Amino acid sequence: MKRVIEQRGLYFDELEEGVVYAHRPGRTVTDADNVLFTTMTMNTQALHLDAAWSAGQPFGQRLVNSMFTLATVVGQSVTQLTQGTIIAQLGLTDVAFPHPLYLGDTLYTETTVTQKRLSASRPGQGVVTMEHTGRNQDGDVVALATRTCLMWTEAAHREATAG
């Protein structure tokens, strides 16, 4: 019988406050990504879809949809931090986009665990607060978000999934 190692995120017990988790690889954003996401979500903002119109706007070109940027920043953290170890996302706060993300930019994300505590009402589970920072290939911060998640402790998850 071969040993099987399943890819997963980190359990509540393994997450450390103040540690920066760098998520790699980065994600180069294409025109197709931007147009597909923008139209799928029914966002008809010309700033994402109309190159000629956007050329006359302050940034001089189309911008990547900020909701795509936010979703990708959170998504880049999943395999390293929450894959199979999260119970629920409790909320996102303090979302900001201090610099635009342009088509062709590569997005890199880092996450810092800022706070964690065991749940008072849910034994074997804990609340974790994370700060996500998305940067482009030049290091410019293009997205910030604070995310709160309900996470399993390792022992409780193993007990809940045994059998």
CATH number at residue 101: 3.10.129.10
Residue 12 within a domain: no
Domain hosting 149: range is 20-161
Q: How far apart are CA 131 and CA 17, in angstroms?
A: 11
Q: Per the structure, how many domains does the chain have? A: 1
Q: Are 99 and 136 in contact (CB under 8 A)?
A: yes
Residue 37 within a domain: yes
Residue 9 within a domain: no
Q: Are 30 and 37 in contact (CB under 8 A)?
A: no
Ramachandran angles phi, psi of 67, nearest 5°: -70, -30
pTM, two decimals, is 0.93
What string of pLDDT tens digits covers the 163 residues of the chain? 899 888 899 999 999 999 999 999 999 999 999 999 999 999 999 999 999 999 999 999 999 999 999 999 999 999 999 999 999 999 999 999 999 999 999 999 999 999 999 999 999 999 999 999 999 999 999 999 999 999 999 999 999 988 6
Contact residues for 1 (Cβ-Cβ < 8 A; gap 6+): none
Residue 105 within a domain: yes
Residue 58 within a domain: yes
The secondary structure of residue 30, as a DSSP letter, is P
